[in-house]
A and B are shown apart, each in its own frame.
Chain A
C-alpha cells in the first residue's frame, strides 16, 4: 500500500512578460515563500523540474540550472516534459517517488519563459507539437486545434460564440483580482465577443496568454507532514489519460477522450463524485477548452456546459467555482508552470488565503485540478482533500 502524500507548501512568481528575469530568477521567486515558511533546502530530499519547451530560451538541462540556483545543487533532480501537462506530470512523478518511499519530501518546480521569442515564433514552436509529418505542413497552430473543436461543438450543439465570450469575461473578472496574473484586467462581454480573430471561431479573448512565470509546491509523506504544516492538502486521487495524436483521428471533437478517462480514474481513486467537488482549476487554454472541461469532469452533461456559464454557476459563489484565479486565460499560461500554479491555487483556496474576499471560495473540502496537454494527447487530473 502506497504512503499517503500531501502538498504542504507552495510559492508563485508574478506571471507576465518577465523581461526582468530569466528562468533561474523565476524559480527563486517561486521557491522564496516556501523557504520563508521554514522548508529550507536541507529538508528537501530531491526535486522535479517541470519545464516544457527549452526551445523558447535555448537553455538545455534546465533542472541542473534550477537546482543549483536555488541552492539544491547536491540534491537529485530531474526534468519532466509532456506539453502543457508538464506540471502535473512532474507532480505525478514526484508523488510516485514519495508514495513508494524513495524520498520523503520533494520540491516540484514549474517554469517557462516564452517571451524570449516573438508571438509568431512561439506559435510556430507550439504548432510543432502537432504531427510534424501530416499536421504541421498545413499550419495547424495550437489555437487552430481548439478552433477545430469549437467549430464542431458549436455546430453539433447549435451554440453561439456568446457562451465562450461569457467564459472570457469570468476569467478576466477573477484575473483582475489576482496580483500574480499576467493580464489582470476586466473585459466586457462586447469586447470579448467582438475581439480580433485569431483562429475563427476563436478570437483574441478566447485564447490564453504567452507567459513567463514559475510556481512551486512541496509534497511530503504522511510521516513528515506535521513537521511542515498543520494544514496539509492530501493528494486523494490521481488519474491520467491520453488521446489520439492526430486530432482528425479522435472519435469526437466535442469532448477530450483522454480527459474523460483521467477524470474517471481520479474519481475512482479518491472515492468521490463530481457533486462532491467544491472548486476546480480546469485547463482553459482556450474558452472552448473550459466549456468542454465542465462536461468531461462531470459537472454538466454533454452539450449542457453552457448552462453552467449562463447561470454563472462557475463563479466563486456558484455551484462549481472554476478558475477563480483568472485561469490560463487571464492569469497566464507559462506551459511548465501551469499545472503547479493550478495546484497552488487549490491550496490557497482551501486555506482561505485568496488575496481578496471577492474571489475566496467558501469552505473548500475537495478541489480538482484538470490539466490538458497539447489538444488532449496528455491529461492529468488530481483530486485534493482538506486535511484539517
Chain B
C-alpha cells in the first residue's frame, strides 16, 4: 500500500485530516477541485461535505469543471490573525461560479483594488515543500 502523502489545506491549518479530507487534498494536489454530491438527493456542496446536510447520507466527491467566476465579495486583510501575520496584507474573496456554487479563497495576483463583480479564474497553488495545497482565485 502506497504511503499517504502529508497534505494540508490553505495557509494555516489545524492539521485535523480525516480520510475524506485526505482524498480531497490528494485531488487538489493534482490540480482538481472537488465538490461533493449526495448519492440520495443529489444536493451538491462546495466546499465538499462527507455527509448530506439533509439526512446524513454519505456524499461522493465530484470534480468542479467550472473555471470562470465572479467576485461576490472581498476583504483586504491588513491586520491578520497571528498565524497568518507574515502574509498580511492578503485578499480573501468569495467567488461565485455560473452554476451558483461559491468558493472562499485568496486572490493572489491583484495589481489594483478588487471590485465586486470582477472576473475571477480558479487556480491552484502549493507551498515549496509541497505539503500545503490550495485553490485560489486569479484575476
Contacts and interface: CB of A to CB of B under 8 A. Distances in A.
Interface of A: 118-121, 123-124, 126-127, 132-141, 143-144, 147-149, 151-152, 155-156, 196-200, 246-249, 253
Given A123-B82, A144-B92, A197-B78, A137 B73 contact: no
Given A148-B73, A198-B79, A248-B94, A139 B16 contact: no
Contacts of A149: 73
Given A133-B9, A137-B11, A155-B116, A144 B104 contact: no
B12 interface: yes
Interface string B105-139: 11000000001110000000000000000100000
B2 to A, nearest CB: 25
B84 interface: yes
Contacts of B79: 119-120, 123, 141, 143, 197-199
A151 B13 contact: no
A198 B81 CA distance: 11
Ranked nearest first, the 9 interchain pairs of A and B with the lowest CB-CB distance are A137-B10, A139-B84, A155-B116, A147-B75, A200-B76, A124-B82, A124-B81, A152-B73, A120-B82
A183 B78 CA distance: 22
A65 B100 CA distance: 50
Contacts of A135: 104
A139 B93 CA distance: 11
Interface residues of B, number: 38
Contact of A138 (B14, B16, B106, B116): B106
A200 B106 CA distance: 14
B73 A121 contact: no
A155 B71 CA distance: 11
15 contacts: A120-B80, A132-B16, A137-B11, A138-B105, A139-B11, A141-B77, A141-B81, A147-B77, A148-B92, A151-B73, A155-B73, A155-B117, A199-B78, A200-B75, A247-B94
Given A147-B75, A155-B116, A136 B104 contact: no
Given A144-B75, A151-B73, A151-B75, A139 B80 contact: yes
A123 B81 contact: yes
Nearest to B96: A248
| Secondary structure type dominating chain B contacts | mixed
Contacts of A196: 78
Contacts of A124: 81-83
Given A138-B92, A139-B77, A144-B75, 10 more contacts: A118-B82, A136-B14, A137-B13, A139-B81, A139-B83, A140-B92, A143-B79, A246-B104, A247-B104, A248-B102
B57 interface: no
A360 B82 CA distance: 41
B103 interface: yes
B83 to A, nearest CB: 6
A317 B1 CA distance: 74
A123 B80 CA distance: 7
A132 B94 contact: no
Contacts of A118: 82
B43 interface: no
Contact of A120 (B73, B81, B116): B81
B104 A140 contact: yes
B62 interface: no
A162 B78 CA distance: 20
A148 B74 contact: yes
A356 B105 CA distance: 48
Contacts of B83: 124, 139
A110 B77 CA distance: 30
Contacts of A151: 73-75, 116
A139 B12 contact: yes
Contacts of B82: 118, 120-121, 123-124
A372 to B, nearest CB: 18
A174 to B, nearest CB: 26
Interface in B1-33: 8-14, 16, 21
